Structure 1
Amino acid sequence: MSVFFSSHRLQVLITGVLCALLNTSCASPAPEAAFVLPGIGPDSVVEVAAGPQYARGRVYKFFWGRHYRKEWATPVPVRVFNLSTVVPGGLTPVQAGGSFQTKNLRLKDRNGVEYVLRSVDKDATKALPARLQKGPIGRLMKDQTSVIHPYGAFIVPVLAEAAGVYHTNPILGYLSDDPALGKFRKDYANALYLLEERPDGDQSTVRSFGQSARVESSRKVFTNLIASARYRVDARQYLRSRLFDMWLGDWSRREDQWRWASFPSADSSTRYQAIPRDRDHAFFKFDDGLLTHLIGWVKTNYQSFHKNIRLADVEGLNRAARPMDKSLLVYLSEKDFQEIADSLRQRLTDDVIRRSLQVWTPEIYALSGEEFTEKLRSRRDQLPAVAAKFYSLLARDIEIPGTDEPERFVVEPAGVGQVRVSVYRLIQKQAPTLIDQRVFNARDTRSIKLFGLGGNDVFEINGLPDARIAIHLYDGAGQDTIRQQLPQSTTSNRITLYNSNDGNIVKVGKAIKVKDYQPAANEFDGTGWLLRHRLY
């Protein structure tokens, strides 16, 4: 996702102001380095600066931020990748790709195992219309690559291993004009890359992917989650990964930033565990310039990596992942959040932080080592408070999706101010099987939405729930049944059935309001749920 993908109109205005104040800031930046180094051998080491073009003067930095400009402009010794020898048997390029910012090249070894080269330098201007890419706005967007630490991704594996979070294992290298690039030679030669395993397919030999024999995409996993309750995500493991994201300040955790290790069971069910990938926005440093600070007020998801995680910033920090968080963490309690936060705080010791930063060269450590040590220690100690805030944000308005199979949703009082929701899988000629349940408290939760999605579902209201929590029943596709165990005279204005008139059996008393409903595309059936998760 582009750093300024949704705010370039704001930058047009700001650029005009800045150009009037500072004409030099609108000039073209220094040309990007073209590191053409002929005659490099397979085991060579060269000194390369990741982005000397991001060096700027004091006035420019006052407006547009200091960021990590020194780290980008400092030459470091780098291994030269030779695709024929970088792994036994060599690597063969098979497919070019990338996002709005990162240039990727997929490669395979002789056994079919896939790797990916990801450019260290980024180019967010691709998110702009072509007419803006070469102008002041495009140049400013390109310059803001300096908000990312060029070597931040390389400290993550040691930290993730200690935290109990899956991770890739990137290696830094320089790719020269290697003939093994073939048709990709023109676009990919002479640049700095990180090389890492591609989390996909059979990863049974990769411990940092859980040694799963089948790693799958988010689109595939969410399609399965909607199809049947036989597919479940390990919610505690996913929460561990999400709190780890917050510790790193990684705010860009949308659905495509994940892969999933699958673990089939003897009962034909499958459990998924999260594999985070693409740490481009970890350790983000954005708000240290006058104008970038102002933009940060508007784009509150652009969270900078500070010593303290302000609780008021937790919502913005997690906005990109909010649809996933609401679905996948819905059955976890406040106790679960605190247990995992406490576990992370204990695992991420000062020694772990020290060892992680030792992967940097002395040149980079001299610039960033002390700063990162202080910030990582401080943010670690705040994890319990951050987890409590994260829980409260998710608990406010609950959404519980079913699947395209038949389910039974049971809503009932569970004590003063408490409502229990239980969801069962309905299988012909078998007793209903509990999928999961949770007790919600009115002090945390103001509404609960139950989505039947597909299948002939059953919604049961057994006793009048606490009126402080609004209950919304969305029938979805299929012919659904509504049951209630309440006296006919009972009244309530807090339980609503949204009926799409799809042949449902609706016989309810005064306690349940019925509203005819034309569902939005992203809240009705399984396909709509994929739309909600941006996986169409």
Structure 2
Amino acid sequence: MLLMSCSAPAAPVGPFPVIGPDSTVQVAAGPQYMRGAVHQFFWGKHYRKLWAVPVPAAVFNLRTAVPGGLTPTEAGGSFQTKNLRLVDRNGVEYVLRSVDKDATKALPENLRDGPIGRLMKDQTSVINPYGAYIVPRLAAAAGVFHTNPRLVYVTDDPALGAFRQEFANALYLFEERPEGNQSAVRSFGRSARVESSRKVFTNLAFNPRYRVDARQYLRARLFDMWLGDWSRREDQWRWAGFPGTGGSTIYRPIPRDRDHAFFKFDDGLLTHIIGWVKSNYQSFHEEIRLRDVEGLNRAARPLDKSLLVYLTAADFRQIADSMRTSLSDQEIKASLTVWPKAVYDLAGAEFDRKLRGRRDQLPAVAAEFYALLAREIEIPGTDQPERFILEPVGDGQVRVQVLSIHAGRPDSLLNQRTFSPTQTRSIKLFGLGGNDVFELRGLPDHRFEIGIYDGAGQDIVEQKPLTTPANQPTSVMVYDSGDGNTVKITKPVKTRAYVPAATEFDAAGWLLRHRLF
């Protein structure tokens, strides 16, 4: 449904270039998703009414969208979203992201037009087509970096060039592409160095002078849970780099692609059953079910285990309490008013109620999230030489310290954390590359299952003192790849020969855990 209008477009959200005074359209994002009562009973009501209601959208003009215009350069996207990359005369990049999705691209071609393909396409209705609209103000209130999407309609514009046939006559979200020098964009922290997850994790694994602001990442992850955004794999992030001390670089996260925020899936008989099996397909309810926090975060688990390993329960609690305070009723209400009136009339009261209810749960959700991550700990080094120190510190606890080894000067502490056997059952240390040193300063409590994985390089594993009584219970295993390591241990510490998996060997292999190679 498309109706032309001569009214001026609404003001954009956030610090974003103003599209010229062109016409607007009244357009429904997906009227094809309205289905009969029987279909909805089995396959869900979802957001079908929002997809079917006409809303105003500014007509997008590539020649006037920003000073000097925009040139389309590259088509892309995931299995669902269709993207068109644009660049201005200064080399700054933007992107058009399709509002409508097509999950059938993940299917073999012979299935896309059949019953399975039609059903997958129909389930696009689980997505709120205007959900991304309300995120910028909420993210700003929560202290999380964000893009600034604006709803636009792309006509059959000759300026699209070779992309004209594929991208004409559809609704898109127009936003900054978080990459490169973004010093002009406040919502990216004015970072002059925004990088991809592949680049950032390569840097993290190869050299300890690159670090991620773990508290800021936790804040962003709790924000994800509040929105019900369960699809937070590595490519859903960009990273704003900032100068640290001593020539180091600190990265802070920029979440992107909110397609799965506010997911509504379980309101049909069959989709409800599927939701029980696929616990990551969690719907946006007023209550975040604590028993399902694991499923809600499954896609981001490799990221979470790597980036949050040194944060304590107190860190989780403090950040959750801070967010609960900053996401006030007034901020929630104000964020919803950016919706077109027709959308607000259909969903405003529902979202106001749900966002307030989920906000009040953030401390309990953070506590459960911490408990899940604390059970099994993985601590990697880098491809530079590091010293890992394990030391009992009383009450059954063990402290793990990771230090950077420097030739001719003292080692410098990179990170440390103390673990309790009531929270943690296993700790695995991975030396990765470099000639690393693993020190056991006493024997950890036997309730910890501790694994030491040497990886590449000629490493040293030593137990201090070597006179520890052999009958003292402990559960420490040294996995020796046999590539010239020096192992100085006595019973009850055990040694086992092994061939390192690719994900355990060096920095390049560790990236496999993050699906980045």
Match of 2:310 in 1: 331
Code of the aligned partner of 1:496: M
**1:467-505 deviations in Å (ceiling 9; x for gaps):** 111111000000000111131543445000011111101
**1:32-67 deviations in Å (ceiling 9; x for gaps):** x6x697999961011100000000111100000000
Q: Does 1:202 align with 2:181?
A: yes
* Cα distance change on mapping 1:363 and 1:373 into 2, 3 Å: same
Match of 1:249 in 2: 228
Match of 1:55 in 2: 34
Q: Does 1:510 align with 2:487?
A: no
Hey, what's the Cα distance between the residues in 1 that align with 2:180 and 2:35?
44
- Cα shift at 1:264: 1.9
Match of 2:10 in 1: none
- Cα shift at 1:267: 1.2
* Secondary structure of residue in 1 paired with 2:173: strand
Answer with 171-180 or 38-47: which moved more: 38-47
Code of the aligned partner of 1:529: W
Match of 2:470 in 1: 490
- Cα shift at 1:266: 4.9
* Cα distance change on mapping 1:39 and 1:186 into 2, 3 Å: farther
- Cα shift at 1:131: 1.3
1:316-395 to structure 2, matched below 5 A, reads 316-395=295-374
* Cα distance change on mapping 1:182 and 1:36 into 2, 3 Å: farther
Hey, what's the Cα distance between the residues in 2 that align with 1:62 and 1:42?
44
1:225-304 to structure 2, matched below 5 A, reads 225-304=204-283
**1:54-107 deviations in Å (ceiling 9; x for gaps):** 001111000000000000000111111111111111111011111000000000
* Secondary structure of residue in 1 paired with 2:272: helix
Q: 2:22 aligned to 32, 43, 54, which one?
A: 43
Check the 8 A contact 1:413/1:419 in 2, yes or no. Answer: yes
- Cα shift at 1:230: 0.4
Q: Does 1:501 align with 2:501?
A: no
**1:245-298 deviations in Å (ceiling 9; x for gaps):** 000000000000000000123511110000000000000000100010111111
Hey, what's the Cα distance between the residues in 2 that align with 1:393 and 1:38?
52
Check the 8 A contact 1:65/1:286 in 2, yes or no. Answer: yes
Code of the aligned partner of 1:531: L
Check the 8 A contact 1:470/1:494 in 2, yes or no. Answer: yes
Q: What root-mean-square deviation, in Å, do the aligned CA atoms of Structure 1 and Structure 2 show?
A: 1.5
TM-score (norm 1): 0.92
Hey, what's the Cα distance between the residues in 1 that align with 2:220 and 2:97?
22
Check the 8 A contact 2:431/2:454 in 1, yes or no. Answer: yes
Q: Does 1:522 align with 2:503?
A: yes
Answer with 457-466 or 40-49: which moved more: 40-49
Match of 1:28 in 2: none
* Secondary structure of residue in 2 paired with 1:523: helix
Q: 2:294 aligned to 299, 315, 329, which one?
A: 315
Q: Does 1:424 align with 2:403?
A: yes
* Secondary structure of residue in 2 paired with 1:471: strand
**1:441-489 deviations in Å (ceiling 9; x for gaps):** 1110001000000000000000111111111100000000011113154
Match of 1:96 in 2: 75
Structure 2: runs of 5+ lacking an equivalent? 8-19
Hey, what's the Cα distance between the residues in 1 that align with 2:497 and 2:195?
38
**1:131-170 deviations in Å (ceiling 9; x for gaps):** 1111000000000000000000010000000000000000
Q: Does 1:144 align with 2:154?
A: no
Code of the aligned partner of 1:474: Y
1:463-474 to structure 2, matched below 5 A, reads 463-474=442-453
TM-score (norm 2): 0.95
Q: 2:458 aligned to 479, 488, 491, which one?
A: 479
* Secondary structure of residue in 1 paired with 2:298: coil
Match of 1:451 in 2: 430
Q: 1:128 aligned to 93, 107, 131, which one?
A: 107
Code of the aligned partner of 2:282: Q
Percent identity of equivalent pairs: 70
* Cα distance change on mapping 1:159 and 1:276 into 2, 3 Å: same
Check the 8 A contact 1:523/1:532 in 2, yes or no. Answer: no
**1:279-332 deviations in Å (ceiling 9; x for gaps):** 000000001000101111111110110010010110000000000000000000
Code of the aligned partner of 2:503: N
Hey, what's the Cα distance between the residues in 2 that align with 1:44 and 1:86?
13
* Secondary structure of residue in 2 paired with 1:531: helix
Hey, what's the Cα distance between the residues in 2 that align with 1:65 and 1:301?
17
Q: 2:97 aligned to 118, 132, 137, which one?
A: 118
Hey, what's the Cα distance between the residues in 1 that align with 2:381 and 2:305?
13
* Secondary structure of residue in 1 paired with 2:320: helix
Hey, what's the Cα distance between the residues in 2 that align with 1:431 and 1:361?
61
Hey, what's the Cα distance between the residues in 2 that align with 1:395 and 1:332?
10
Check the 8 A contact 2:5/2:24 in 1, yes or no. Answer: no
**1:350-388 deviations in Å (ceiling 9; x for gaps):** 000001000001100011000000000000000000000
